[in-house]
């Protein structure tokens, strides 16, 4: 029998109803041996996550303001849940200890991590699994960086000793001092991936409140199709272009160990969800896996006759951007033209200085700036070597009356990126979706 590692996000463990679903899911399959949990998340719109309340306690304590009532809110939430689950008193000694540590001045990472810690203790009792505190096994260096190999070694040695275990997400400790260190927000995804790698899992199930990824943003496209399977590379392209997916660092440990990630819905456990795998599924009929994009880019279009015969032009332009610490997204070029696409977020305050430096150092014949450009990536390894994909895409855009301002296709043929005006963004996404949502390979 294989091993499944399940990570349950904040909404899956937010209250008693959700915890019961979680329990049912875990106990329904004996291979679900290791469970990683987030702190209780929001139960309804406008509710506060336990992690946010804990950060707030710390801010109050730092400013000499009373924090005990805030901490009582946290305690009350856990007490009510423990009571309804018939697990009264399970957490009492832990509350006392946390309260004492708050009084004596604990770190912000320590207090933030206690939501996961308390939930881990509670859920271990609920499932009858061992509780493993990641503080000793998930290790960080002195700059707060995750020590991935050291962690893998320590975690696998420990987890080998357990048939079943619950491990709180989101934190570990500094390898030297042993003090708690947290990941960035949403970091329980990373813990799940580390545990999956450490136990050599066959699959890393990431349980959340959606049945996997959708082919396009549902705020733009009505009822988009779910993505059944996506490769790590495709996912990277889509998330880079703004699709909100997993914590980036969460992909890495699963990817190096070639462990598929399965995004599942705690509220609809029969849905298959999305599989994220190392390789594109060769049996997939889909040409396009997903469409994502974002608004607010600037294109700087530089024209200089005989640019292509000179040397070092591109390097000089890029070094000007580097001087201003600006990342560029794309660099489409022609014989005597070079366009640099940058995010408004990075360039806005330095745009004039960058233009000035380009003029001074490179004496172009002309330089034009187009603001308010949106980029849209149409991603799919199924596009590779498939004929007619770009024809279909550009026909769809033309028929939707979208003016294409820029085109870029990587040589991997895995994505086609188009630049359109911000105002055309939604219309363009809908047009591309319509063109490909029902298209399959010839």
List interacting residues with ligand ASP (CB under 6 A): 10, 38-39, 49, 51, 115, 169-170, 185-188
Contact (Cβ atoms closer than 8 angstroms) between residue 291 and residue 433: yes
Smallest separation, CB 82 to ligand ASP (Å): 19
Q: Which is nearer to ligand ASP, 191 or 378 (CB)?
A: 191
- Closest separation in Å from C-beta 410 to ligand ASP: 32
Closer to ligand ASP at the Cβ: 132 or 393? 132
Of residues 116 and 286, the one with the C-beta less far from ligand ASP: 116
Q: Shortest approach of ligand ASP to residue 42 CB, angstroms?
A: 10
Residue 379: phi and psi, rounded to 5, are: -115, 140
Complex with ligand ASP: residue 42 or 304, whichever CB lies closer: 42
Count of CB atoms situated within 10 Å of the CB of 58: 20
Round to whole Å and give the CA distance between 438 and 326.
39
| Smallest separation (angstroms) from ligand ASP to the CB of 129 | 19
Q: b/e per residue, 204-226, with b = 16+ CB within 10 A?
A: bbbbbebbbbbbbbeebbeebee
Give first-to-last CA distance, the chain, whole Å. 38
C-alpha 389: how far from chain center: 28
Question: What is the distance between the alpha carbons of residues 319 and 231, in angstroms, rounded to a whole number?
Answer: 34
Q: At its nearest, how many Å lie between ligand ASP and the CB of residue 38?
A: 3
Residue 133 or 413: the one with the smaller Cβ distance to ligand ASP is 133
- Closest to 39 measured CA to CA, from 4, 17, 7: 7
Q: How far is the CB of 218 from ligand ASP (least distance, A)?
A: 22
Our CB check for ligand ASP shows the closer of 188 and 229 to be 188
> Contact 300/288 with Cβ under 8 angstroms?
no
Is 38 or 274 the residue whose CB approaches ligand ASP more closely? Answer: 38
CB 138 within 8 A of CB 194: yes
CB 78 within 8 A of CB 10: no
- CB 40 → ligand ASP: shortest distance, Å? 9
């Amino acid at each position: 029998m294989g091993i499944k590692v399940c990570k349950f996000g904040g909404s899956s463990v937010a209250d008693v109803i959700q915890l019961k679903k979680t329990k049912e899911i875990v106990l329904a399959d004996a291979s679900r041996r290791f469970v990683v949990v987030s702190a209780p998340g929001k139960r309804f719109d406008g509710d506060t996550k336990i992690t946010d309340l804990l950060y707030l306690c710390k801010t109050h304590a730092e400013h000499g303001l009373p924090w005990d009532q805030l901490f009582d809110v946290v305690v009350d939430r856990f007490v009510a849940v423990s009571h309804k689950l018939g697990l009264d008193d399970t957490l009492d000694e832990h509350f006392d200890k946390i309260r004492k540590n708050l009084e004596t001045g604990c770190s912000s990472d320590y207090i933030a991590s206690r939501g996961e810690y308390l939930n881990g203790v509670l859920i271990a009792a609920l499932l009858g699994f061992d509780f493993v505190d990641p503080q000793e096994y998930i290790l960080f260096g002195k700059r707060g960086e995750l020590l991935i190999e050291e962690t893998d070694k320590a975690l696998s040695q420990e987890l080998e000793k357990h048939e079943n275990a619950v491990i709180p997400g989101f934190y570990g400790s500094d390898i030297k001092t042993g003090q708690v260190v947290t990941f960035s927000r949403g970091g329980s995804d990373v813990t799940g991936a580390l545990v999956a790698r450490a136990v050599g899992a066959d699959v890393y199930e990431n349980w959340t409140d959606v049945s996997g990824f959708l082919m396009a943003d549902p705020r733009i496209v009505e009822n988009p199709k779910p993505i059944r399977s996506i490769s790590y590379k495709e996912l990277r392209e889509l998330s880079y272009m703004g699709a909100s997916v997993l914590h980036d660092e969460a992909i890495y440990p699963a990817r190096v160990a070639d462990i598929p990630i399965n995004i599942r819905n705690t509220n609809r456990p029969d849905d298959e969800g999305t599989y994220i795998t190392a390789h594109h599924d060769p049996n997939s009929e889909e040409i396009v896996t997903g469409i994502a994009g974002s608004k607010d880019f600037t294109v700087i279009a530089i024209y200089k006759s005989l640019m292509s015969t000179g040397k070092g032009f591109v390097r000089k332009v890029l070094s000007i951007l580097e001087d201003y610490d600006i990342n560029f997204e794309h660099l489409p070029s022609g014989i005597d033209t070079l366009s640099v696409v940058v995010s408004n977020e990075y360039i806005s305050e330095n745009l004039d200085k960058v233009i000035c430096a380009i003029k001074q150092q490179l004496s172009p014949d002309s330089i034009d700036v187009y603001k308010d450009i949106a980029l849209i990536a149409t991603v799919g390894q199924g596009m590779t070597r498939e004929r007619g994909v770009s024809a279909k895409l550009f026909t769809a855009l033309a028929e939707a009356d979208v003016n294409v301002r820029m085109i870029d296709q990587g040589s991997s043929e895995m994505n086609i990126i188009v630049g359109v005006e911000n105002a055309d963004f939604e219309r363009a996404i809908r047009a591309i979706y319509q063109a490909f949502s029902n298209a399959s390979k010839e």
